[in-house]
Amino acid sequence: MKRRVTDFKKGGGPYVWITAYDYPTARLVDEAGVDGILVGDSLGMVMLGLPNTLGVTLRDMVRHTEAVARAKPKALVVADMPFMTYETSPKDALRNAAKLIKAGADAVKLEGGLEYALVVEKLVKAGIPVMGHIGLNPQRVLATGGFRMAGKTEEQKRKLIQDAKALRDAGAFAIVVEFVPPEAAGEVTQSVDVPTICIGAGPHCDGQILVLHDVIGLTERPPSFAKKYGDVAEAIRTAVSQYVREVKAGQYP
């Protein structure tokens, strides 16, 4: 049965999420039994070779969301809203989010807390489910000076909780908490009655999410918190190397 946003309730986890960016990987991760698939703007780094997510366009996200949706996954499909598609105004955010929904997403995700609560509220009132994202915001790397851990001080921790509550009040059905100390993630989780989904934030959230390419060994420099469960890179090298040898030796075709 197809997952719905209403299936993600506090206390119903742990929920397992992973990213996917195309038809074959969406099909495979869905068959593996994940609860949710994020079509992340991380595709800019792991698929397109960009240094960060800032160069990802709405057109990129629409195309990859369409590809994932064609796999008809049972998992909930959430599409990231890329940089500068929601920051300018709630009206712009609604127009851009609608394109991702029409591309096949079941919901959208945007980065930021209290400062974007009105945007979240606008989308939810229009019938577009929203997943929040606090802690490390990859789209803010220029302002923060890089991919730095958030929530290390008491002030930062209070801000995280404030952001989580603002997103909850605005109607977000779940909140990603990225790269914060485990104890801070635990306090955020306890402060809201919607599920929190951890990425690099320890075991105290209601679910976990990782980038697929980190999980299967396709990332050149994976983050320290990611666990590699397979080595697809070596499998590709082995298969293609054998192909090269056989063609050059006249053994194939």
Catalytic residues: 178
- Contact indicator for 134, 92 with CB cutoff of 8 Å: no
Cα separation of the two ends of the chain: 44
Q: Match 């050059």 to its residue by tokens.
A: 248
Q: Match 């485990």 to its residue by tokens.
A: 182
Question: What residues does 208 pair with on adjacent strands?
Answer: 16, 198
Rounded CA separation 57/71 (Å):
22
Rounded CA separation 48/37 (Å):
19
Rounded CA separation 245/252 (Å):
9
Rounded CA separation 127/123 (Å):
7
